[in-house]
Amino acid sequence: LAKTTQPISMDSYEGQEVNITCSHNNIATNDYITWYQQFPSQGPRFIIQGYKTKVTNEVASLFIPADRKSSTLSLPRVSLSDTAVYYCLVGDGSSYKLIFGSGTRLLVRP
């Protein structure tokens, strides 16, 4: 399983765009990149998944450069309710387990 590195925490203000970058230098050819969000006292929630280039859904965008050694989760116009921990996971799905790192604790201020 590829190891991931994310910033421990980030601060932002309401209405701003937030970009959280994850490094995964030893990502394998078959690995996908998946992001989860976790609010306090709740289970993680799937946000977005990608393999290369750009993926966008109603919640976020995921940018993956050509070398795939990093990825950036982009949250447009954050609100207070986006305050949460965001996890980047990398894997090829050959294992039946997801390994969560420490994640990035995002605090959105008014």
Partner 1 sequence: EPEVTQTPSHQVTQMGQEVILRCVPISNHLYFYWYRQILGQKVEFLVSFYNNEISEKSEIFDDQFSVERPDGSNFTLKIRSTKLEDSAMYFCASSDESPTNEKLFFGSGTQLSVL
Instruction: Decide: is 99 part of the binding site for partner 1 (CB under 8 A).
Output: yes
- Binding part of the chain for partner 1, among 19-27, 34-42, 53-61, 67-75 by CB under 8 A, reads 34-42
- Binding part of the chain for partner 1, among 4-12, 18-26, 32-40, 54-62 by CB under 8 A, reads 32-40
Instruction: Decide: is 51 part of the binding site for partner 1 (CB under 8 A).
Output: no
- CA–CA gap between residue 104 and residue 2 (Å, rounded): 17
**Structure tokens of 8?**
């421990």
- CA–CA gap between residue 56 and residue 76 (Å, rounded): 11
Query: What's the min distance (Å) between Cβ of 58 and partner 1?
Result: 13
Handedness of CA 7, 23, 98, 63 (dihedral sign): positive
Instruction: Quickly tell me which residue has 């116009």 as its tokens.
Output: 77
Positions in the binding site for partner 1 (CB under 8 A) = 32, 34, 38, 41-46, 49, 87, 89, 91-103
